[in-house]
Amino acid sequence: MTKAMIPLMRPSPHGARVVNVSSRLGRVNGRRNRLANVELRDQLSSPDLLTEELIDRTVSKFINQVKDGTWESGGWPQTFTDYPMSKLAVNAYTRLMAKELERRGEEEKIYVNSFCPGWVKTAMTGYAGNMPPEDAADTGVWLSLVLSEEAVTGKFFAERREINF
């Protein structure tokens, strides 16, 4: 959907923005919930090796292993497995889109980033989160409005700070 929307985005002196909502649980090299396959982690972490085909292949392999019941031995994240895999794909696609769009001229610049809103008090968390939605939205709004002189692309943020994918 993001790719289909790119031609519809209006040029701006400050650059257009794509801000994807993600999660720290989708980090390729997260301490608690990382991919066990080192080669796949390296491929998904490398801007030079990252492709849409790699992302699609990774997600398809995960889905097929879930269907046939072998996902636990597949090296996938073990905690809330489906959610981290969806966010891993969002983070990888964020970096890929940023790489593909960085060649655009200043008047057509599009900044693409993702952010983790944190543990939010919503129905998804059973209202057990530690922050209200309006506070969780702060980083996403900030990424949408930051001046072009300060803007970056292809990065992952939480609490208005860049964090590792």
Residues annotated as part of the active site: 83
- Quote the CA–CA distance of 101 and 3 in Å, as a whole number: 10
CA nearest to 35, candidates 58, 63, 64:
58
- Dihedral sign of CA atoms 142, 154, 33, 57 in order: positive
The arrangement of strands across the sheet holding 156-158 comes to 16-21, 110-115, 156-158, 161-163
Structure tokens at 103: 């060649």
Q: Read off the tokens for 44.
A: 């998904």
Helix (H) or strand (E) holding 157: strand 156-158
